[in-house]
A and B are shown apart, each in its own frame.
Chain A
Amino acid sequence: MTTLLEIRDRIIQIYRQFETPFNIAFKFAAVLLGLLAIEGQIGYQKVLTGPLFLVLISLLCALLPMGGIVAVITIVSLVQLQTLSTEALLVGALYLLIALLAYFRFSPRDLVLLVMAPMCQLLGIPYLIPLLGGLLFTPASAATSAVAVFYWSFISFIHSNETSISTTTDESGMTARFRLIMDGTLQNQQTIIMIIAVVAAAIIVYVIRRLRIRYAWQIATGVGAIVELIVVLIGDMLYGTSVSIGAVFGGVIASALICIVVTFFRFNLDYTRIENAQFEDDDYYYYVRMIPKNLYTAPRRRVTQISSTRHQTQRRASHTVQGVTQQYDEPQGDEGYEEGDADDGYQDEDQR
């Protein structure tokens, strides 16, 4: 456990030191993988599917805020839909407008989940989004997760029915294509089941992790993962949505493991050393329950220097610098301090 805490401490120190480059790298990776996932489904405009374009867009998005990234990804998606057919563009723009007016209007703080959603779909862990939302954000992450699921199901439907939707095969029948897209996206039972699963998981995870119980975050992750699994499996049994059970199990377990790692970094408490205290100030009387965090304590280093005793008179001096106690002999007279002496006799406390 100490080794894990040390590794965690090191990672956090490195992240704090290089926070900006890490954030930029994360956004670049998330956007690149997300665009790869989206272009894999609706990559009809060949110029936009080229590696140079993808890298350039990802570099641009790495410098934008999350709202800007969502806007760029949306514009890329709409351009791809326009290449396929006008009806697909119209329906996509309509859904976007409604989402803008009803959801983005509240300036959600968890747009990073929306940016990560296509990447998670590509990696087979779409169930991670509601679990992370419930752990790190508010119950409004349920809406974000639902929007992410709906968006992915929309572009998946377009991909599956591109022949029927494309205007190149049939110039007439605009209304029929329009109705096909609307029916396919709004009456898709798999989408409805997934939306129910992610909304329920996000809300349950948030409620449980806010409880004043031991291992609240771990329990929340477990329960959220189980809820997602149960809802998806029940939906599959009831509506025959032909979901791959192995993929669902694997995705849920992987998502839960990632959330456990996130909990280890974000909310790591030592429940074996709980203390209760009472105190008061001028206004209130406090009953406090204190749970210490699991922190890594660096070992104290004791530096011992062994120098020659060739001086007639010597003074012993010692001082402590940043937890390291140094004892050294200060030479009198003209004899100076020789280089290399500082490293002699260095001993780590743990090695004694």
Chain B
Amino acid sequence: MTNPVIQVEGLRCSYGDFEAVRGVDFEVAQGELFGLLGTNGAGKTTTLEAVEGLRKATRGTVRVLGSDPLADRRAIRPRIGIMLQDSGFPGDLTVAEMVAFGQSISSRTSDAATAIEALDLAHRRDVRIKQLSGGERRRLDLLLATLGRPEVLFLDEPTTGLDPESRQHVWEVVRGLLAEGTTVVLTTHYLEEAESLAERIAIMHEGRIAVAGRVSDVLARQPARIGFDVPAGFDVSVLPMLYGDVVHEPSGRVEVRTGELQRDLGELLDWARGDGRVLTGLRANHASLEDVFHAVRSDEKVMSR
């Protein structure tokens, strides 16, 4: 990677005796969105806090825009935006007052009215923050982190607890920033969020990166799925020879997990036509990140046995 904006090497972070991050490496290029995924407690937030310069690494190195985010905090902070997973507001300020305050403690110039409009908070601008809904607070949070368009933006679970409409809104704002060249690091446990926004992802599990790469590559490594309903008493041995694994689920559905989606699907459709069968509930799809997620977790279970 030429001139990565973020470089993390051998990062380790401990809380007392507990090591939350156990050797993490990744790089993020200028202008890309890097997704850090994982279950709760996988170490995503701790990793992000170390990269943001909010937490000291026990070992390893972190470079953001070429500098150490902790030691060179004064130089780096004006260039980055941080949206924490849980961060609060003084509830007695109004939305407009909070935005004005955010501007006054930032060296970046920004237009408050446009920012408020972009996150659909214009009708709430004179409402005290304690009266906002969870989704509105989260949008205000994003607004403050993105004021004045930072060069690098850190988003820790930006859409957790949001309704689908608000989530779309947040995605649009993030896409807009990406289009203008902002580099984004995002953690999420919504897989569709990573699928829809991220170019590259890393899936963390128990303090390490279990899987990493371009979203399409990560997905291609997992078998695709074909599924259809079968009547009671169906005998799977009547199926044609398939490349993938066939599972007859008790719910009366056959699930095929295959690395050869096109071939196996063709075989199945030929067989159904020849037999005069209608495959109800037929679905064929590539692996989802959810599958990758489950694979990561079941690998871990196998290894710990």
- Pairing of A with B: no
Which B residues form the contact surface with A (CB < 8 A)?
A: none
